[in-house]
């Protein structure tokens, strides 16, 4: 935490972000502050607020002040403004986040069950996913991706911060079944070799 | 790699899952609605084997699934069709795995089983990811944005532009537009119908030869100065109407030998 | 401003006030934070924030964060969009300039078309006309006149600098639009007639 008094630009950025009712990108801020180069000020402020009760965080390229996570128990009390998601919606959201962009059919393929129309609507309405165009395959299905509001809500700076995403990717768990199957079986059409352990597994 | 040493829980054991009521009465409490489809149920069953999903005993899993479905049917629970489809497919898979291997079969039963495992693995991965996502410090639940932000407002102020010439022009046009307007219709030389009727009737007389209508019209040679082409057009029109009128009165006959040909006129024969 | 890292209570007070929907008294805060003595923390925070872009202030016994007063202009920023005055507004302005003071009904009578309320509002907003009282006739209509800003904008010393009708006519500005157009393209066989017009508008 910096003890130096803030310079004029730092003060302006601090005031603007405090007053803003939405997270702001550096470009938004710069435009609002007459074209100033705000990134150094953002960095200085983030450092200044680190460890305080309020922190300056970046979420999907947008900056906001929010209370420190370790104080959640003090602030949570009567607040219940967080939407409770059904299991279907929770899983669909995770699938969109980890696989984006995905079509509804791809979500259903992973979950092994049809996705009710309302499930994706809930996520769209919450502003956590958005329609990201269509896949250029027969039927041109709509595809979905997450939004900056998703990152903000779940406290992610970028999608790379999704819990465990690197491990999942490394383990091939974000690949479709067929790709994983091909990888496991050497990519050939031959049946998987009848190794003893494989037989054991299937015994 | 270890052997599949998973000790399978007995089916009537109360699980930490959706299958039985907590602390359950083992009396076959089934809540199939609690599963999001057959793959979900399979995953739930597979997890109880407490092994890596790729080392799972597919045969055990199939047996457990089929037992569940049989129980549900015994209880006459309404089962969604996809549970039954999955049950049939798993029974088929089981038989393939147990029967002597047919080397011709494509894909092999082991491949089918592996694909099922891969699907379960992917669903499990996403389910776990969803859990971790939901457990994050969420804005509005664990961390909070400013409670009463003043808000940033950008007031758009129009800077109106207009110059003196535009002002003059506008005023000029207002005055021009609202000035009283007088329409003047200039008098034109015309041959009235009455004049044409009198003329054609007089000239027709008792002519018995077919005569071109144009011969009845005023001509320069007669000193009536039909030089103005507009007057000639007027005379032709009036003369034509006069001819029609005379024919209607039975005083003249009209003939035209071809389309757009000259209109011929003669006195009606008694 | 203090450079020392905030203690736990200070952080809690900071977060609670930041997240609060409305200003809180020390008692509110104390109750909220398990009965802690919050006043020293409030004092420390107020000192920490002094001179920053955001300040902690007490108003009628209630505490709140607010944007530093000298930065209030950041919350409300004006952006100037250059816009061309509409044809209707230009005509109305010209009529006010030549005939002032005039009522809206008189403007309409001269323009020969209805004049939307918004048209005069634009001129009022631009600062070129002002309400100059009411005409003492039935209905007491509001009458309008031009402002000094009008003269400045149009580069006029006084309204007498506005060209008279004769000058407008000489400049061809009194020709009806279609006649003027025809004259330009050489298709007209009639000269625009010089109807007698009152020339006493600039009385």
Subunits with 3+ C-beta pairs closer than 8 A to C: A, B
User: Which residues in chain A have Cβ-Cβ distances shorter than 8 Å to C54?
Assistant: 14-15, 18
- pLDDT confidence band for B30 (50 / 70 / 90): low
pLDDT given at position C134: 92
User: Which residues in chain B have Cβ-Cβ distances shorter than 8 Å to C82?
Assistant: 158-159, 161
Summarize pLDDT for A49-91 with one digit per residue, the tens. Answer: 999 999 999 999 999 999 999 998 888 755 555 668 888 999 9
Topology, domain C87-198: Arc Repressor Mutant, subunit A (1.10.10)
Interval B249-268 mean pLDDT: 87
Spell out which chain B residues touch chain C, with contact meaning CB-CB distance below 8 angstroms: 144-148, 150-164, 166-180, 182
Contact (CB<8Å) A52/C14: yes
pLDDT given at position C74: 83
User: Which residues in chain A have Cβ-Cβ distances shorter than 8 Å to C13?
Assistant: 53
User: Which residues in chain A have Cβ-Cβ distances shorter than 8 Å to B111?
Assistant: 181, 185, 191-192
| Residue A195: CB atoms within 10 Å | 10
Contacts of A81 (CB under 8 A, 6+ apart): B140, B141
Is B241 strand, coil or helix? helix
| Min distance B185 CA to chain C CA atoms (Å) | 13
| Integer CA distances (angstroms), C136 to B97, C6, C75, C141, C143, in order | 105, 70, 45, 8, 10
Spell out which chain C residues touch chain A, with contact meaning CB-CB distance below 8 angstroms: 1-3, 5-6, 10-16, 18-19, 32-33, 51-54, 65, 67-68, 71, 74-75, 77
Contact (CB<8Å) C18/A52: no
Contact (CB<8Å) B107/A93: no
C-alpha angle B75-B78-B83 in degrees, rounded to nearest 5: 105
- pLDDT confidence band for B83 (50 / 70 / 90): confident
| Min distance A139 CA to chain B CA atoms (Å) | 24
| Residue B77: CB atoms within 10 Å | 15
DSSP letters spanning chain C: ---SPP-HHHHHHHHHHHH-SS-EEHHHHHHHTTT---HHHHHHHHHHHTTSSEEEEEETTEEEEEE-GGGHHHHEEEEEEEEEPPHHHHHHHHHHHHH-SEEHHHHHHHHTS---HHHHHHHHHTTSEEEEEE-SSTT--EEEEE-HHHHHHTT-SSGGGSPPHHHHHHTTTTS-HHHHHHHHHT--SSPPP-------TT-
User: Which residues in chain B have Cβ-Cβ distances shorter than 8 Å to A186?
Assistant: none
Contacts of B156 (CB under 8 A, 6+ apart): C78, C79, C80, C81
Six token digits for residue B59 = 């045969």
- Is the per-residue pLDDT at B157 higher than 80? no
Contacts of B235 (CB under 8 A, 6+ apart): B191, B196, B217, B218, B226
Residue C66, strand partner residues: C55
* Burial of A24 from C-beta contacts in 10 A (0-12 / 13-18 / 19+): buried
Is B212 strand, coil or helix? strand
| Min distance C8 CA to chain A CA atoms (Å) | 8
Q: How far apart are the first and last CA of chain A?
A: 61
Cβ of C111 under 8 Å from any chain B Cβ?
Answer: yes
Rounded Cα gap, residues A202 and A200, in angstroms: 5
Spell out which chain A residues touch chain C, with contact meaning CB-CB distance below 8 angstroms: 1-3, 5-6, 10-16, 18-19, 32-33, 51-54, 65, 67-68, 71, 74-75, 77
| pTM of this prediction exceeds 0.80 | no
Summarize pLDDT for A142-171 with one digit per residue, the tens. Answer: 999 999 999 999 999 999 999 999 999 999
User: Which residues in chain B have Cβ-Cβ distances shorter than 8 Å to C165?
Assistant: 175
Greatest alpha-carbon span in chain B: 133
pLDDT given at position B250: 87
Query: Which residue of chain B is at minimal alpha-carbon distance from C172?
Result: B172
Is B156 strand, coil or helix? strand
Cβ of A144 under 8 Å from any chain B Cβ?
Answer: no
Among C66, C162, C176, select the one facing B176 at the smallest CB separation: C176
User: Which residues in chain B have Cβ-Cβ distances shorter than 8 Å to A198?
Assistant: 110
pLDDT given at position B162: 86
| A interface test, pick of C52, C56, C64, C69 with most A CB neighbours within 10 Å | C52
Rounded Cα gap, residues A105 and A20, in angstroms: 39
Contact between B117 and B54 (Cβ < 8 Å) = yes
Is A42 strand, coil or helix? helix
Rounded Cα gap, residues C144 and C139, in angstroms: 15
A200 phi, psi to nearest 5 deg: -60, -45
Helices (H), ranges, chain A: 8-19, 26-32, 39-49, 72-75, 87-99, 104-111, 117-125, 148-153, 165-170, 177-184, 196-201
User: Which residues in chain B have Cβ-Cβ distances shorter than 8 Å to A91?
Assistant: 36, 126-127, 130
pLDDT given at position B220: 57
A73, HSE (Cβ side, Cα atoms, 13 Å): 2
- Is the per-residue pLDDT at A109 higher than 60? yes
Contact (CB<8Å) A200/B58: no
Contact between B126 and A175 (Cβ < 8 Å) = no
pLDDT given at position C40: 94
* Burial of A200 from C-beta contacts in 10 A (0-12 / 13-18 / 19+): middle
Q: Which helix or strand (DSSP H or E) is residue A55 part of?
A: strand A54-59
pLDDT given at position C158: 84
Instruction: Give the position of tokens 């009465």.
Output: B25
Residue ranges in chain C modelled with pLDDT below 50? 1-2, 178-203
Summarize pLDDT for B122-154 with one digit per residue, the tens. Answer: 999 999 999 999 999 998 888 888 888 888 877
CA B115 to chain centre: 40
| Min distance A142 CA to chain B CA atoms (Å) | 21
| Min distance A99 CA to chain B CA atoms (Å) | 10
| Min distance A3 CA to chain C CA atoms (Å) | 4
pLDDT given at position C182: 45
User: Which residues in chain A have Cβ-Cβ distances shorter than 8 Å to B156?
Assistant: none
Sheet holding A54-59, edge to edge: A24-25, A62-67, A54-59
CA A184 to chain centre: 29
Closest alpha carbon to B17 in B37, B38, B47: B47
Same fold, C8-75 and C87-198: yes
- Is the per-residue pLDDT at B63 higher than 70? yes
Q: Where are the domains of chain C?
A: 8-75, 87-198
> How long, in residues, is chain A?
203
Of the ranges A96-110, A111-125, B49-63, which one carries the lowest mean pLDDT score?
B49-63
pLDDT given at position A67: 94
Helices (H), ranges, chain B: 38-47, 58-74, 81-98, 109-134, 164-178, 193-204, 229-248
- Is the per-residue pLDDT at B155 higher than 70? yes
Rounded Cα gap, residues B203 and B235, in angstroms: 15
pLDDT given at position A43: 96
Residue C201, strand partner residues: none
Q: Which helix or strand (DSSP H or E) is residue A102 part of?
A: strand A102-103
Contact (CB<8Å) B146/C19: yes
If contacts are CB pairs under 8 Å, which of residues 42-61 in chain A contact chain B? none
Q: Which CATH architecture group holds C8-75?
A: Orthogonal Bundle (1.10)
pLDDT given at position C34: 86
Contact (CB<8Å) A66/B144: yes
- Is the per-residue pLDDT at B219 higher than 80? no
Contact between C23 and C59 (Cβ < 8 Å) = yes
Instruction: Give the position of tokens 């401003």.
Output: C1
Is B137 strand, coil or helix? coil
Contact between A71 and C12 (Cβ < 8 Å) = yes
Contact (CB<8Å) A54/C15: yes
pLDDT given at position A201: 35
């Amino acid at each position: 935490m910096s003890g130096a008094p803030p310079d004029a630009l730092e003060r302006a950025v601090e005031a603007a972000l405090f007053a803003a009712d939405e997270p702001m990108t550096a470009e938004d801020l710069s435009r609002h502050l007459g074209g100033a180069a705000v990134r150094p000020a953002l960095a200085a402020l983030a450092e200044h607020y680190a460890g305080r009760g309020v922190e300056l965080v970046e979420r999907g390229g947008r900056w906001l002040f929010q209370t420190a996570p370790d104080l959640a128990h003090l602030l949570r009390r009567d607040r219940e403004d967080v939407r409770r998601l059904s299991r279907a919606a929770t899983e669909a959201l995770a699938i969109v986040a980890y696989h984006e962009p995905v079509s509804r059919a791809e979500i259903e393929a992973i979950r092994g069950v049809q996705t009710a129309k309302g499930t994706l609507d809930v996520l769209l309405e919450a502003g956590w996913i958005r329609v990201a165009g269509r896949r250029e395959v027969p039927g041109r299905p709509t595809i979905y991706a997450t939004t900056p509001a998703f990152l903000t809500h779940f406290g992610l700076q970028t999608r790379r911060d999704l819990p465990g995403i690197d491990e999942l990717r490394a383990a091939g768990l974000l690949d479709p079944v067929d790709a994983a199957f091909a990888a496991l079986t050497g990519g050939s059409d031959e049946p998987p070799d009848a190794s003893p352990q494989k037989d054991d597994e299937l015994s | 790699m270890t052997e599949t040493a998973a000790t399978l829980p007995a089916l009537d054991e109360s699980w930490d899952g959706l299958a039985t009521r907590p602390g359950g009465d083992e009396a076959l409490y089934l809540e199939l609605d609690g599963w999001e489809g057959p793959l979900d149920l399979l995953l739930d069953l597979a997890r109880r084997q407490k092994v890596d999903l790729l080392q799972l005993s597919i045969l055990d899993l199939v047996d457990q699934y089929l037992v569940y479905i049989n129980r549900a049917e015994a209880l006459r629970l309404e089962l969604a069709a996809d549970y039954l489809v999955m049950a049939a497919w798993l029974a088929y898979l089981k038989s393939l795995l147990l029967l002597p291997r047919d080397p011709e079969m494509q894909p092999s039963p082991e491949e089918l089983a592996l694909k099922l495992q891969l699907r379960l693995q992917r669903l499990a991965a996403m389910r776990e990811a969803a859990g971790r996502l939901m457990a994050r410090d969420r804005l509005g639940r664990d961390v909070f944005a400013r409670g009463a932000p003043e808000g940033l407002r950008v007031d758009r102020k129009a800077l109106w532009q207009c110059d003196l010439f535009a002002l003059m022009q506008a005023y000029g046009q207002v005055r021009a537009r609202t000035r009283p307007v007088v329409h003047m219709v200039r008098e034109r030389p015309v041959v009235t119908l009455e004049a044409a009727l009198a003329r054609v009737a007089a000239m027709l007389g008792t002519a018995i030869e077919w005569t071109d209508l144009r011969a009845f019209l005023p001509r320069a040679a007669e000193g009536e100065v039909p030089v103005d082409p507009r007057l000639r057009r007027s005379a032709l029109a009036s003369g034509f109407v006069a001819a029609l009128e005379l024919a209607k009165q039975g005083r003249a006959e009209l003939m035209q030998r071809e389309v757009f040909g000259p209109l011929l006129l003669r006195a009606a024969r008694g």
